[in-house]
A = this chain, B = another copy of it.
Amino acid sequence: VAWAGSRHAVEVADRMARLVASDPVFRKDTRTMLSRKELFKDTLKKAAHAWKRIVELRLTEEEANLLRLYVDQPGYVDLHWGMFVPAIKGQGTEEQQKKWLPMAYKFQIIGCYAQTELGHGSNVQGLETTATFDPSTDEFVMHSPTLTSSKWWPGGLGKASTHAVVYARLITEGKDYGIHGFIVQLRSLDDHSPLPGVTLGDIGGKFGSGAYNSMDNGVLRFDHVRIPRDQMLMRLSQVTREGKYVHSDVPKQLLYGTMVYVRQTIVADASKALSRAVCIAVRYSAIRKQFGSQDGGPETQVLNYKTQQSRLFPLLASAYAYRFVGQWLKWLYTDVNQKLEAKDYSTLPEAHACTAGLKSVTTSATADAIEECRKLCGGHGYLNSSGLPELFAVYVPACTYEGDNVVLLLQVARFLMKTVSQVAAGKQPVGTIAYMGNIQHLMQCKSAVNTAEDWLNPAAIKEVFEARALRMAVNCAQNISKAPSQEEGFSELSPDLLEAAVAHVQLIIVTKFIEKLQEDIPGPGVKEQLQKLCSIYALHLLHKHLGDFLSTGCVTARQGALANELLGKLYAQVRPNAVALVDAFDYTDHYLGSVLGRYDGDVYPALY
């Protein structure tokens, strides 16, 4: 229940997972053996069948989303529901929503989200596709002026979509007004052939077998394609019949709500992907045996080895940590929306930095962790039947999409530098950055930890994580101020700024884990187990980044050694409950998709 969030969530997730697992159409155990073409057909079949079941069983939106989650195969529907519909909802006028959404809801049109170009990813302002208004016909002319302006990557674009929200430079009255969204029909609703002037294609194979190869990531070029003026998404700004560019009275900050929402789902996905990998690795480590005791007795379960524990249990702890910070982000999303409605934009920069940082840190760590889990399964982890190669290949794009992780961390760093200077000017920061207000204490405090067990105290943990994050930020700010200009300093110090940003984000995750454990946690002994995981999460970070803690002077070498000593004890205490802690994820064998992670532990006959 602590994992799922509520009894209701447990029940509905369980019901949808079993519905998918028991339906032969949703089988996926041969997926990695299919050719690209067979795989794409299989995706179409599953999407159609899922839609049929959703309609037949009159599933709620929550149930439908879960069903699609457990089908566990990337496909055009993800973009239709996850990007196309929300873009129209968020950026379309009421009129536009009334016109387009019913068609989308009934799948009369299939939509995708065409932003990224061959030569332009992170730098959205650099997109080259143009939408030039022609007042003589009341139309926009969509055009791809260069090779690098070709739309490249959008999922669902290659084969499935009939429509797209296309981002392009709006040009009217000879002036470039920057990037705006347009609803563009791409294919005929009669025979699905590309419309005149539209060139479409699939961009080819991607990492792994199975994985994202079920998705038709595509390429799109326009040769002077004309669309009616009212297909520009006009909630925030319009072009009039005469060609005048005007802003509406809707504040553009409203878009932030969507961004917080999308990033919250990405953090939730990180905990899902990580927990699947950890579940497989923990279960198989409890089955697999290697090396005997000295006296030639039976071999030892791999999970009993300290080296296995010290690599695996921090990942188990991370899965829970990301889960809880994801739950908190759900709350933040509600909070941000309420404030937006009240036209209070004061917390937006903080919410933006916080979600950007969490997206970056959790997805990077999860990608690495899935691969580490694969290695922790020994040679058999390399077989597709272990499920781990596909899980890795399908997960890693999360480090790049919706904001490259390094670019996002630099945004966090920029926010930190701004906050440092505001604090110096006497302003009191709020939210996840509030600790910086405590600058007098945090700049000179020294940890009072004296025994290994002192590190069990959440306050002791919080203090050193706060001091480390703040001191790293302040160090960067001081070094930047020595540079000829702010921009030059920021650029020169950007590798250090990345580290400061990571320190800040790790603090947020640790803090939210600690706060979660101040709530009631149902189930006997559950809270105690989670407290151990929380300590493991924080202390393994302290050990891994010991250089930060020592060089900023908030921890001594001896205190660092005590933390390490406690970690060893905590691993031993978690060991007896490790399998129960992954069973708590309540994943079906279908969803796990791994012979090594089978619930019944009957691994070797299944492999053979």
- A6 at interface (Cβ–Cβ under 8 A)? no
- A290 and B121 in contact, given A208-B393, A494-B306, A557-B551 (Cβ under 8 angstroms): yes
- A605 at interface (Cβ–Cβ under 8 A)? yes
Q: Are B607 and A306 in contact (CB under 8 A)?
A: no
CB 8 Å contact bits of A489-502 with B (1 = contact, 0 = none): 00111111010000
B residues near A271, Cβ cutoff 8 Å: none
- A404 at interface (Cβ–Cβ under 8 A)? yes
- A243 at interface (Cβ–Cβ under 8 A)? no
A289 to chain B, nearest CB (A): 8
Task: Find A379's partner among B116, B310, B498 (CB 8 Å cutoff).
Answer: B116
Main secondary structure of the interface of A (DSSP, over half): helix
Q: Are B384 and A204 in contact (CB under 8 A)?
A: yes
- Restricting to A348-385, which residues have a CB under 8 Å from any CB of B? 368, 371, 375, 378-379, 382-385
Q: Are A208 and B389 in contact (CB under 8 A)?
A: yes
A415 to chain B, nearest CB (A): 17
- A455 at interface (Cβ–Cβ under 8 A)? no
- A44 at interface (Cβ–Cβ under 8 A)? no
Q: Are A299 and B551 in contact (CB under 8 A)?
A: no
- Restricting to A468-512, which residues have a CB under 8 Å from any CB of B? 487, 491-496, 498
B residues near A551, Cβ cutoff 8 Å: 546, 550, 557, 560-561
A205 to B211, alpha carbons, bound, how many Å? 13
A74 to chain B, nearest CB (A): 12
Interface 9-mer from A147-155, A224-232, A247-255: A147-155
Chain B residue at minimal CB-CB distance from A116: B379
A306 to B410, alpha carbons, bound, how many Å? 12
Q: Are A383 and B204 in contact (CB under 8 A)?
A: yes
A129 to chain B, nearest CB (A): 15
B residues near A290, Cβ cutoff 8 Å: 120-123, 126
A473 to chain B, nearest CB (A): 15
Chain B CB within 10 Å — which of A116, A126, A209, A487 has the most? A209
A148 to B547, alpha carbons, bound, how many Å? 45
B residues near A331, Cβ cutoff 8 Å: none
B residues near A385, Cβ cutoff 8 Å: 204-205
Q: Are A219 and B608 in contact (CB under 8 A)?
A: yes
- A96 at interface (Cβ–Cβ under 8 A)? no
- A32 at interface (Cβ–Cβ under 8 A)? yes
- Restricting to A31-46, which residues have a CB under 8 Å from any CB of B? 32-33, 35-36
A305 to chain B, nearest CB (A): 7
Chain B residue at minimal CB-CB distance from A308: B406
Q: Are B32 and A205 in contact (CB under 8 A)?
A: yes
- Restricting to A304-349, which residues have a CB under 8 Å from any CB of B? 305-307, 310-311
- Restricting to A373-403, which residues have a CB under 8 Å from any CB of B? 375, 378-379, 382-385, 389, 393, 396-397, 399-401
A149 to chain B, nearest CB (A): 10
CB 8 Å contact bits of A544-557 with B (1 = contact, 0 = none): 01111111110001
Q: Are A208 and B206 in contact (CB under 8 A)?
A: no
- A107 at interface (Cβ–Cβ under 8 A)? no
Q: Are B206 and A379 in contact (CB under 8 A)?
A: no
- Restricting to A520-563, which residues have a CB under 8 Å from any CB of B? 543, 545-553, 557, 560-561
- A213 at interface (Cβ–Cβ under 8 A)? yes
B residues near A120, Cβ cutoff 8 Å: 290
- A458 at interface (Cβ–Cβ under 8 A)? no
B residues near A397, Cβ cutoff 8 Å: 379, 382
CB 8 Å contact bits of A126-153 with B (1 = contact, 0 = none): 1000000000000000000001101011
A353 to chain B, nearest CB (A): 17
B residues near A307, Cβ cutoff 8 Å: 406, 410, 494-495, 498
Chain B residue at minimal CB-CB distance from A496: B564
- A119 at interface (Cβ–Cβ under 8 A)? yes
B residues near A406, Cβ cutoff 8 Å: 307, 311
Chain B residue at minimal CB-CB distance from A378: B121
Chain B residue at minimal CB-CB distance from A293: B487
A317 to B117, alpha carbons, bound, how many Å? 32
- Restricting to A64-111, which residues have a CB under 8 Å from any CB of B? none
- Restricting to A294-308, which residues have a CB under 8 Å from any CB of B? 294, 299, 305-307
B residues near A379, Cβ cutoff 8 Å: 116, 121, 153, 397, 400-401
Q: Are A568 and B204 in contact (CB under 8 A)?
A: no
B residues near A177, Cβ cutoff 8 Å: none
A122 to B495, alpha carbons, bound, how many Å? 39
- Restricting to A559-583, which residues have a CB under 8 Å from any CB of B? 560-561, 564, 568
Q: Are A294 and B205 in contact (CB under 8 A)?
A: no
Chain B residue at minimal CB-CB distance from A119: B604
Chain B residue at minimal CB-CB distance from A392: B207
B residues near A371, Cβ cutoff 8 Å: 371, 396
Q: What are 16 A-B residue pairs whose CB atoms fall within 8 Å in the complex? A: A118-B607, A121-B290, A121-B379, A122-B291, A123-B291, A126-B290, A126-B292, A147-B605, A203-B383, A208-B208, A305-B491, A371-B371, A379-B397, A382-B396, A492-B568, A495-B568
Given contacts A122-B378, A382-B397, 14 further A-B contacts (CB under 8 A): A122-B291, A123-B290, A123-B299, A126-B290, A147-B608, A206-B382, A208-B208, A307-B498, A375-B399, A382-B400, A389-B393, A543-B547, A546-B546, A551-B560
* Top 10 closest pairs, chain A to chain B, by CB: A546-B547, A207-B389, A310-B495, A551-B557, A205-B384, A547-B547, A550-B550, A306-B494, A123-B291, A307-B494
